[in-house]
Each structure stands twice: as structure tokens, then as C-alpha cells.
Structure 1
């Protein structure tokens, strides 16, 4: 577990609290900010997990990067 994973989890929980307070008080803007914070936390947590995976399995991570890159290239190639 690294700092991105921990910060992502913290941001997600803070977003859940912010959304609940916004809904309880009828503040739609605060509830919306809470949802946005949750998504940011989920993304950061996922990035942290990806970093852990790359550190633990560098060959598999490199191979995954090549496969994703080829898929992306093939997608762009067909867009003429």
C-alpha cells in the first residue's frame, strides 16, 4: 500500500461524508462536491493499486502496457 492508495481511500470517505451532509441539509452543491470527491478518491486509489502492481510484477505490468498500447494504436488506425 502506498500514499496514493491511502489518500484515495481518505478522499473517497471524505466525499461520502460530504455527500451525506449535503443531502441531509438540502445543499445540492455540497452533495455534488461529495460525489466528485468520491470519484477522485476512486481514481487515486486505482492509480495507487496500479503502482503497487507494477512494483510487484514489473514484467506483467510492462506486457500489459504493450497490449493496451497496441489496442489503442489499432483503434486510432481505423479512424480515417
Structure 2
């Protein structure tokens, strides 16, 4: 776990506390700050996870994908089909 993930977790927890306090006291401003804090914390955790995943380069991920496809060819084909349909639906909706 890197610094971005830890910091993001802290923001997420702080946001949850603020949202709960806002709910209990009826303070909508505090509640909104809590929700915003949670969102920024989740985004920072995702950024930290992505940087950690790509820190070793894409080579290890390619090897993992190949290993997965060799071990579970039907699951790999199903996953590829689902991703393909998602891309087609996304492109079709942008006309």
C-alpha cells in the first residue's frame, strides 16, 4: 500500500464520520462535506492502486493475463465478449 492509498483511506474515513455527524445533527453542509470527502478519498485510493499496479511496468500484467487465458479459456473468452459488448454499446451511444 502506497502513500496515496493510505491518504485516500484517511479521507474516506473522515468523510464517513462527517457524513454521519451531519446526518445526526441535521447539518446538510457537513453531510455534503462528508460525501465529497468520501469521493475524493476513493479517487485517491484508486489513483494509488493504479500507480502501484503500473509501477512494475505492464509486462507482469500481460503475463498474468496470458496465464489466466491459459488456465481458464472459457472465462477469458466470456470476459473478452463482455468487454467487447460494453465498448460497442458505448460507441453506439455517442452518435
- Same structural fold, with TM-score higher than 0.5 when normalized by the shorter chain: yes
Query: What runs of 5+ residues in structure 1 fail to find an aligned partner?
Result: 64-70
Task: Report the number of matched residues.
Answer: 65
1:33 is matched with: 33
Query: What runs of 5+ residues in structure 2 fail to find an aligned partner?
Result: 63-86
1:59 is matched with: 58
1:17 is matched with: 17
Query: Relative contact order (alpha carbons < 8 A, sep ≥ 6): 1 or 2 greater?
Result: 1
Per-residue deviation, 1:55: 1.1
TM-score (norm 2): 0.61
Larger radius of gyration: 2
Q: Runs of at least 4 residues of structure 1 off by over 3 A?
A: none
- Give the root-mean-square deviation of aligned CA atoms: 2.1
- Aligned-partner SS, 1:52: helix
Task: State how 1:36-47 maps to structure 2 within 5 Å.
Answer: 36-47=36-47
Per-residue deviation, 1:60: 4.9
